[in-house]
Amino acid sequence: MRNVLRQIAAVGGLIALTSSPCAAQEAGLPGATAASVLALGRQLSPELRAMALERDAAAARADAAGRLDDPTFRAMSDEVDRTSGPRINKTYLSIEQEFPLWGKLDLRRSAALASVDAARGREQATAAELDEKIKVGFARYYAASQALLVNREVARLASSMAKLAKERYAQNLGPQTDAITAEAEITRTAMQTARLEAERRSAATRLNALLARPPAAPLAEPKELRRLPMAEPPLAALLDRARAGNPRLFTGAAEIRGAVSERELAEKAWYPNVSLGAGAIQRDNGPAGYTASLALKVPLQWGVKEAGEREAVAKLGAAQQRLIQLEAEIGGDLEQALAMLTSARRVADLTRKQLIPQLEAAHKSGLALYRRDQGSLSAVFEAEHRIHQARLDLLRAESEAQTALAAIERLIGGEL
């Protein structure tokens, strides 16, 4: 048995040596850490670029909203008033400009600037959601990679135990069923390896999709997960951070500001704008002259004005109700994510510090009994299965903790 263990250690050392060139090749690839894929995701994301362009478009509209409309140029030909004689022409050349009064221009600009803030909030919300997806995708990629490593250890142990069982059977020290059981264990671990390799490939494909990379683009081997906070913060503190930093709440507040400006602008629609004009008069046989004009739009279409006011009030009320609902949803989501983080962290600690050491002790005990012909190989494999499952459960709990952490950071609008 000692020779078998030495062979396993030698194989492990050989694997470590042969993997070092691969590590050197992977140095320039993303995927080793969550930070590497997060930075690349923000750099390559077409959705983020689209949101940035929408924000630029809103900024351009805001710049236009603070300016006057184009003036109107008029050219008119007429005749000089006279009772007899030849016809004498006179030409009017004038330019007119409409001026929104009563603060309408400032309200239009205010509403447009609120739209810019709303577009900026949507861009930040999209970035936060992308970050969450990448964090979760990296955690699953890490868990799948580590599960595959755990299963490979089980496969190596199964091979060594199969060799030992055959040697014992050849020396009439063990039954033939042990050798058959060991071979079946090798087959079972091979099937598990195939399944885990498919899971790892699926996780890598999903992560590449989030990074806007080809599905089969190479990724580095994941080294470590993001660190969890030392302690879970209280829910009240998280809610305060969410109110200050959540981009969706920022967008909702901006939409309310824009709706308030639009309501005030609808109320000002009853007050007419003023159009001022100035021009020159050219006569064929007479002195030149000048003209000046003043025009007002008479607000006679009361139904249009009242409908505009109702629309603005309804839009404001809808924006306010959406913000109230959004705050309630964020509070509920924060509480659920915090509970999930606490639970997953507790399960991971218990599994790592208590369950796995206990199962390892039971495995060693069963292996020692088998060496002394006082135990069965099936019991040894059963103990190994429990350790294997505990390690997989640990990876699952760590992945759930990372998922909860990513959700909390999206909701509060920053790192925890």
All domains of the chain in start order, with CATH: 2-7+29-73+89-412 (1.20.1600.10)
Residues 217-233 have a mean pLDDT of 88
Give the separation between CA 276 and CA 97, rounded to whole angstroms: 5
Q: How confident is the model at residue 138 (pLDDT cuts 50, 70, 90)?
A: very high
**Mind listing the pLDDT tens digit for each residue in 49-65?**
999 999 999 998 888 88
**Of 170-179, 220-229, 245-254, 256-265, which range is least confident?**
170-179
Range in 187-191, 273-277, 379-383 with the lowest mean pLDDT:
379-383
Q: Give pTM, 2 decimals.
A: 0.79
Predicted confidence band of residue 137 (pLDDT cuts 50, 70, 90):
very high
Q: Which of 247, 209, 42, 203 is nearest to 131 (CA)?
A: 42
Task: List CB contacts of 250: < 8 A, sequence separation 6 or more.
Answer: 117, 120, 121, 124
**How many whole angstroms separate alpha carbon 269 and alpha carbon 206?**
53
Q: Token pair for residue 1?
A: 């048995």
- Please name which of 306, 258, 13 lies closest in space to residue 115, comparing C-alpha atoms: 258
Q: What is the pLDDT of residue 364?
A: 79
Q: Which residue do the tokens 């009064």 mark?
A: 101
Q: Tokens representing 82?
A: 């006279």
- Comparing CA positions, the residue from 387, 363, 388, 396 lying closest to residue 377 is 363
Q: Name the pLDDT band for 267 (thresholds 50, 70, 90).
A: confident
- Give the whole-number percent of the chain exceeding pLDDT 90: 31
Tokens representing 231 are 């302690």
When pLDDT is cut at 50, 70 and 90, the band that residue 383 belongs to is: confident
